[in-house]
């Protein structure tokens, strides 16, 4: 398997192509958190990203998702009602690299 090009190169690999018959409608990156209200304040109020939607009590989860007008790329945060912490690899920290 060949490796992708340098940073900024949009191709996954030198030979990979997305199938023409499989259109991508939108992408959403979802992250668990134990600080849903803080994520809402950070991304919505501080960064000013529009809140595209939210939900509560869906199979024990609540969540919120943000995006930029006219783009089909979303950032979603979810929190489980009974789970008081997230895996140590996450800790509910804001996702920064999406905004570089």
Give me the tens of pLDDT residue by residue for the chain, a chain 100 residues long: 334 444 445 445 556 787 888 887 788 888 999 899 999 999 999 999 999 999 999 999 999 999 987 888 889 999 998 876 666 554 555 554 344 3
In the sheet that holds 61-67, the strands lie side by side as 27-32, 73-80, 61-67, 51-58
Task: Tell me the CB-side half-sphere exposure of residue 94, using CA atoms within 13 A.
Answer: 15
Domain locations in the chain as residue ranges: 27-84
CATH code for 27-84?
3.10.180.10
Q: What is the pLDDT of residue 83?
A: 73
CB contact set of 95 (below 8 Å; sequence gap of 6+):
29, 31, 75
The pLDDT, as a whole number, for residue 86 is: 65
Helix (H, G, I), strand (E, B) or coil at 99: helix
């Amino acid at each position: 398997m060949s490796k992708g090009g340098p940073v900024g190169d949009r191709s996954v690999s030198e030979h990979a192509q997305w199938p023409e018959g499989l259109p991508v409608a939108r992408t959403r990156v979802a992250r668990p958190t134990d600080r849903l209200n803080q994520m809402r304040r950070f991304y919505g109020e501080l960064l000013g990203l529009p809140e595209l939607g939210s939900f509560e009590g869906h199979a024990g989860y609540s969540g919120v998702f943000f995006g930029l007008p006219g783009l089909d790329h979303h950032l979603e945060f979810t929190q489980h009602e009974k789970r008081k912490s997230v895996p140590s690899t996450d800790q509910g920290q804001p996702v920064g690299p999406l905004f570089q």
